[in-house]
Structure 1
Amino acid sequence: MSSSPEHIQQRLEAIQEWENRYFEGSNAEAWAMQKWQTEALARMPEKWHEKLLDGVDRFLFYTQSMILNSNVQRETEERVLVTARVFQDDINGINDVRKLRVEENQFILSQLMAKQRLLAFGQGGVTGFAGPFLLASDMPLLMAINLRTVQLSALAFGYDLRHPAEMMIALKVFQVGSSPYFMQYPGWKELETETENIVGEFYNGQERVIDEKWLQQPLRQVGKLAMIAMLRKRLIQGVPLVGVAYGAYSNYRLTRQVSEIASAYYEKRYLLDRQHNG
């Protein structure tokens, strides 16, 4: 049995209330930190900006494609479909997951997100041991984990990322979700219009995902790694527990931020699609 129009409207109003709370909080961003990050980026030569932006874009595209073509993705899709069939037995593909009641989609989402946050927490904790390889691999792994977080949010609400347009929109969701708080509201408003760029299965919008303002997030991660490196000498029974805790919390916090944006975006889009299609 599908969600009633009244229930869909109630959920849309709940998401609107979340938007008001969440983005009001984003205005409380630490402006001193923002100013430092802006100045640091301004000192970087212009050609380095472009190379960095292009490099991050390529990394995201390649990582997304690699994940979507992996055995892990196929196994995850099958688990989502098996769970969906518990609620409704005529589910044949990922797009059919949109037939479920919103509470059922939320149940699937909660299962997927719990694992992602735990993964980010564990990966950050391992980084806290501050070995050179662990520090160097932290940022690529964290980006991959959070890109995966967006992908799983899309799956939970029945959006198949093997479609080129959906792949592109997922990258845009990642960009907004992983941005510093003060940048998220303009990005969120742009996300709300992204479906207008879907032409069939293809994307007809701006294909550049990362911009210069987003680079403030990697700068924060560099600051986190510097702090972990400083904390590695603070040992408790031979283990840098303070660095481990700091790394775990930092990565968990970012993944929680990305999952909150991604979950709200895909649920709102799902509800609007249901409302529009009756």
Structure 2
Amino acid sequence: MRMPSSPEQIEERLQAIREWEQRYFENREMEMGSVQELQAEALSRLPEKWQKKLIEGVDRFLFYTQSMILNANVQREVEERILATARVFRDDITNIADVRKLTLEQNQFIRTQVVAKQRLYAFGQGGITGFGGPFLLAADLPLIMAINLRTVQLSALAFGYDMRHPAEMMIALKVFEVGTSPSGTQYQGWKELESEEENIVGDLPGFYNGSEQVINEEWLHQPLRQIGKLAMIFMLRKKLIQGVPLIGIAYGAYSNYRLTQQVSDIASVYYEKRYLLERWHEKG
């Protein structure tokens, strides 16, 4: 298969993405309900000073986690696997940016290969949390955040966006924010993502000229939802089937899997759309 080589073919694929956006965000809006209203009420009772401290703390955690992942040996290993797969299709691939030389179908194939395990990790991690132990419950939120941040990073790499570039690091964090946001606020964040390329300054490696705050007040609904999930798991820990809290395990696994699937969808479509728009401008 060839990458869409004409403006008409690129436009056809972009139209399919626009239809996906309409369906997806309409469904997100329909999911808004009493739970989110209760979360908003709970947040409104939290003093603004503490909301600000919480936002700053989450931002620091995300920056630290992203830096730790990108400097780990596993990052270099996954980059080498992506490059090795890309060279099966083209022998002139030498770095991550060259991955954009591949056809769209080839980029999608690579992304599927590297991201599939992330949903399994989320499923397994959620299942372990379902045992309901204090340490496991406490570790759930930072672990699922790290898994989903990694999901975004892998999606970017599969479409040829190098996470070592400062601007790409910031954009990945903002894709993560949209993917993990409550359903009712995702569309606004998605529209803001579409203009993020304007904040890239200079040639590669580009610097970032936009806001460096990632998390906002609306995003704080997500940890409240996670706390509600953990409370449910804690209550289910005594409902044993042959000595094992199977209901809590199933609930934790499903909840984390669903969140990672949501992040995966957002990241995949964002980077594919960005990739196609770049091809469009090149041919325009």
The TM-score normalised by the length of structure 1 is: 0.98
**Residue in structure 1 matched with residue 260 of structure 2 by the alignment:** 255
CA distance, structure 1, for counterparts of residue 76 and residue 197 of structure 2: 25
- 1:39-50 pair list within 5 angstroms: 39-50=41-52
1:14 offset after TM fit, Å? 1.1
CA distance, structure 2, for counterparts of residue 7 and residue 167 of structure 1: 30
Is residue 2:213 matched to residue 1:213? no
Is the partner of 1:9 in helix, strand or coil?
A: helix
Q: Over aligned residue pairs, what C-alpha RMSD do you find?
A: 0.9
CA distance, structure 1, for counterparts of residue 228 and residue 208 of structure 2: 35
1:9 offset after TM fit, Å? 2.1
**Residue in structure 1 matched with residue 234 of structure 2 by the alignment:** 229
**Residue in structure 2 matched with residue 158 of structure 1 by the alignment:** 160
Structure 2 residue corresponding to 1:88, chosen from 87, 90, 105: 90
CA distance, structure 1, for counterparts of residue 265 and residue 44 of structure 2: 30
CA contact (8 A) 2:3 2:105 kept: no
CA distance, structure 1, for counterparts of residue 3 and residue 182 of structure 2: 37
For structure 1, the 5+ residue unaligned runs are none
1:114 offset after TM fit, Å? 1.0
CA distance, structure 1, for counterparts of residue 12 and residue 104 of structure 2: 11
CA contact (8 A) 2:32 2:183 kept: no
CA distance, structure 1, for counterparts of residue 63 and residue 152 of structure 2: 14
CA distance, structure 2, for counterparts of residue 259 and residue 98 of structure 1: 20
**Residue in structure 1 matched with residue 189 of structure 2 by the alignment:** 187
**Residue in structure 1 matched with residue 11 of structure 2 by the alignment:** 9
Equivalent pairs counted in the alignment come to 278
Structure 1 residue corresponding to 2:118, chosen from 108, 116, 119: 116
Out of 30-39 and 92-101, give the one that drifted further: 30-39
CA distance, structure 1, for counterparts of residue 186 and residue 32 of structure 2: 14
1:13 offset after TM fit, Å? 1.2
CA contact (8 A) 1:2 1:99 kept: no
- 1:44-63 pair list within 5 angstroms: 44-63=46-65
CA distance, structure 2, for counterparts of residue 11 and residue 25 of structure 1: 21
Is the partner of 2:212 in helix, strand or coil?
A: coil
CA contact (8 A) 2:82 2:110 kept: yes
1:139 offset after TM fit, Å? 0.1
**Matched letter for residue 118 of structure 1:** L
CA distance, structure 1, for counterparts of residue 128 and residue 157 of structure 2: 28
1:186 offset after TM fit, Å? 0.5
1:2 offset after TM fit, Å? 4.0
CA distance, structure 2, for counterparts of residue 61 and residue 164 of structure 1: 11
CA distance, structure 1, for counterparts of residue 260 and residue 198 of structure 2: 28
**Residue in structure 2 matched with residue 139 of structure 1 by the alignment:** 141
For structure 2, the 5+ residue unaligned runs are none
**Identity percentage over the alignment?**
73
Is residue 2:271 matched to residue 1:266? yes
CA distance, structure 2, for counterparts of residue 215 and residue 179 of structure 1: 8
**Residue in structure 2 matched with residue 102 of structure 1 by the alignment:** 104
CA contact (8 A) 1:124 1:138 kept: yes
Is residue 2:250 matched to residue 1:245? yes
Out of 42-51 and 79-88, give the one that drifted further: 42-51
Q: Deviations over 1:93-123 (max 9, x none)?
A: 0000000000000000111221010110000
CA distance, structure 1, for counterparts of residue 5 and residue 184 of structure 2: 36
